[in-house]
A and B are shown apart, each in its own frame.
Chain A
């Protein structure tokens, strides 16, 4: 049934979680994602599902750890300052190989920042963010539909790889309302024999991320990295718009990619061959796809709502002999299409070469 409804991004995340069979949600109020907590406080309780508003994000992430250890599909949602408080818990979950979904509706930072949408947590989220060697799958929605779809996908990938997955959204996407198609609910949840369910009829299960003898720990970390290699092999996702003949490629994810779409249309109307490359997984990052694009495109314009973090990954992908420029806003202020168009014109007006 393609029942189309009008929904806010945050609500789409909450409904996506329920459709994915989320069995336990723990959250703490923080703008701009309070609606997720509020919505789930009404929708989660009932038929055995657990909902709890906690005393802090520290408590929330450790409750997600407990629920995940108990074999339940578990989620928390927060915004940048709360996401920072959750880093230790996330590192523990990666170390203990626990599946869970963490939603970060990013806002202006650092510090208290403000409640406007931003993308300043890119490094923190795509490089691990907590202590030790681990990575997190990061899905980057850019529409209310993707807020629902990627939340559902996050649960699936978390269970598939027994690793936490981040839905990396921002305040603009959380608050915007758009028509959305409600997906069919997931009915089959994976079996988890390793979970804490009581040593009944089986040997006991122990879930930890600790080895007293240092020599015993490296093999566990190596296992994690074999997992991340498989993730980089199989789970890279991105979208393309008018790239086949583009000599200038805009690279953008999340809400700012929507301004980039408009900028591409405006540029094309003025006969400028521009296209958009939009990663929908920012870990694993689509390096290969970007490198191939660099064969026929010389200019890469990175549009982001930060001081320049995505741009590092673009440079890694396209190398030094390509021109990579940044057009950005930060601290909670949006980036508009006309500002991107201006940057396009400025970039192509310079002579080719260094």
Chain B
């Protein structure tokens, strides 16, 4: 049911066209909801709703193809980059993007994301890092911080037993294939705006056929961090930003040029 707008008012903000009016099954205050909305806004602004393909993965965002108003499909845990590789190569005019969490991308799917980047596949990955396994109830993820509680590191993560958190952007930007890699966050409005710009530039990188684009988005998981949503955002700023510094990690020249166009346009 669309929200009626008194006809004589201008709309300053309204649900993006590409986002279904479908209740999200996500927990209150979950960052995935914000990231879904940003993707839909970018797809609208770039006018690619009829070419976009959501390659969902397994995790809290397993239902994301229900939330977008364009083609979508599910892929096995960790394999979204392989599925997207095939879709892009079979139908180069489509605009597939994988939507993955830290368990999906940095644990079981590490080989797939590394090789998709190494091949410079021309699709976009949106990687939401909330440092925990959300859907399965809060276990340690590859990006869980040292000392951080999880249901499988109840005394806090210790490197001796559970190793060190993986900095994905830094790791992948060492490869030649990626054209654009950035890490952003949704912990406050200005950060959300930057995240949207990065997501938009990533899609534009794909549209220009410049190679692999990946945006890591730091996101809260209030339920499994055992924090109120507002406090979870503060915790993210305090604890995750130092471990996962925000910013652009790989911007090839052609993408930098693309970026300039937006600044002037």
Interface residue ranges, A against B (CB under 8 Å)? 23-24, 26, 50, 52, 54-56, 58-60, 62-67, 69-72, 74, 88-89, 92, 96, 196-201, 204-210, 212
In the complex, besides A197-B94, A204-B71, 4 extra interface pairs with C-beta distance below 8 angstroms are: A59-B112, A67-B90, A89-B76, A196-B91
Collect the chain B residues with CB atoms within 8 Å of residue A55's CB.
Answer: 111-112, 114-115
Interface string of B25-58 (1 = CB under 8 A from A): 1000000000000000000000001111101100
Collect the chain A residues with CB atoms within 8 Å of residue B79's CB.
Answer: 58-59, 62, 65, 89
Alpha-carbon gap, A54 to B65, bound state (A): 26
The answer to whether B73 touches A59 (Cβ under 8 A) is: no
Q: Find residues 71-90 in chain B having any chain A CB closer than 8 Å to their own CB.
A: 71-76, 79, 82-87, 89-90
Alpha-carbon gap, A71 to B90, bound state (A): 9
Alpha-carbon gap, A89 to B73, bound state (A): 14
Collect the chain B residues with CB atoms within 8 Å of residue A92's CB.
Answer: 74-76
Q: Which of B51, B74, B84 contacts A209 (CB 8 A)?
A: B74
Collect the chain B residues with CB atoms within 8 Å of residue A198's CB.
Answer: 50-53, 70-71, 91, 93-94
A40 to chain B, nearest CB (A): 14
B129 to chain A, nearest CB (A): 22
A23 to chain B, nearest CB (A): 7
Query: Is the CB of B63 closer than 8 A to any CB of chain A?
Result: yes
The answer to whether B90 touches A199 (Cβ under 8 A) is: no
The answer to whether A63 touches B49 (Cβ under 8 A) is: no
A294 to chain B, nearest CB (A): 43
The answer to whether A23 touches B112 (Cβ under 8 A) is: no
The answer to whether A50 touches B90 (Cβ under 8 A) is: yes
The answer to whether B74 touches A204 (Cβ under 8 A) is: no
Query: Is the CB of B259 closer than 8 A to any CB of chain A?
Result: no
Interface string of B95-131 (1 = CB under 8 A from A): 0000000000000000110110000000000000000
The answer to whether A207 touches B115 (Cβ under 8 A) is: no
Collect the chain A residues with CB atoms within 8 Å of residue B69's CB.
Answer: 199, 204
Number of A-B contacts (CB under 8 A): 129
B46 to chain A, nearest CB (A): 14
Q: Which of A52, A59, A70 contacts B111 (CB 8 A)?
A: A59
Residue of A nearest to B58 (CB): A210
B226 to chain A, nearest CB (A): 24
Query: Is the CB of B234 closer than 8 A to any CB of chain A?
Result: no
Query: Is the CB of B199 closer than 8 A to any CB of chain A?
Result: no
Residue of A nearest to B93 (CB): A198
The answer to whether B83 touches A63 (Cβ under 8 A) is: yes
Q: Which of B65, B68, B90, B115 contacts A208 (CB 8 A)?
A: B65
Tell me whether chain B's interface is mostly helix, strand or loop, or mixed: mixed
Are A56 and B111 also in contact (CB < 8 A) when A63-B82, A199-B49 are? yes
Residue of B nearest to A60 (CB): B82
Alpha-carbon gap, A206 to B69, bound state (A): 10
Q: Which of B50, B72, B87, B89 contacts A206 (CB 8 A)?
A: B72
Residue of A nearest to B94 (CB): A198
24 A-B contact pairs sorted by A residue (CB < 8 Å): A50-B89, A50-B90, A52-B89, A55-B111, A60-B82, A66-B85, A69-B73, A69-B87, A70-B90, A70-B94, A89-B79, A96-B74, A196-B71, A196-B94, A198-B50, A198-B53, A198-B70, A198-B93, A199-B50, A200-B50, A204-B70, A204-B71, A208-B74, A212-B63
A346 to chain B, nearest CB (A): 49
- Most A CB contacts (10 A, CB to CB) among B51, B62, B91 go to B91
A310 to chain B, nearest CB (A): 30
The answer to whether B86 touches A65 (Cβ under 8 A) is: yes
A20 to chain B, nearest CB (A): 16
The answer to whether B76 touches A66 (Cβ under 8 A) is: no
Collect the chain A residues with CB atoms within 8 Å of residue B73's CB.
Answer: 66, 69, 96, 196, 206-208
Collect the chain B residues with CB atoms within 8 Å of residue A196's CB.
Answer: 53, 71-73, 87, 91, 94
Alpha-carbon gap, A252 to B49, bound state (A): 54
Alpha-carbon gap, A56 to B69, bound state (A): 33
Query: Is the CB of B66 closer than 8 A to any CB of chain A?
Result: yes
The answer to whether B87 touches A62 (Cβ under 8 A) is: no
Collect the chain B residues with CB atoms within 8 Å of residue A96's CB.
Answer: 73-74
Q: Which of B51, B53, B83 contacts A62 (CB 8 A)?
A: B83
Collect the chain A residues with CB atoms within 8 Å of residue B66's CB.
Answer: 206
A153 to chain B, nearest CB (A): 23
Q: Which of A65, A197, A199, A201 contacts B75 (CB 8 A)?
A: A65
B159 to chain A, nearest CB (A): 28
The answer to whether A23 touches B65 (Cβ under 8 A) is: no
Collect the chain A residues with CB atoms within 8 Å of residue B93's CB.
Answer: 198
The answer to whether A50 touches B86 (Cβ under 8 A) is: yes
Collect the chain A residues with CB atoms within 8 Å of residue B115's CB.
Answer: 54-55, 59
A18 to chain B, nearest CB (A): 16
The answer to whether A24 touches B86 (Cβ under 8 A) is: yes
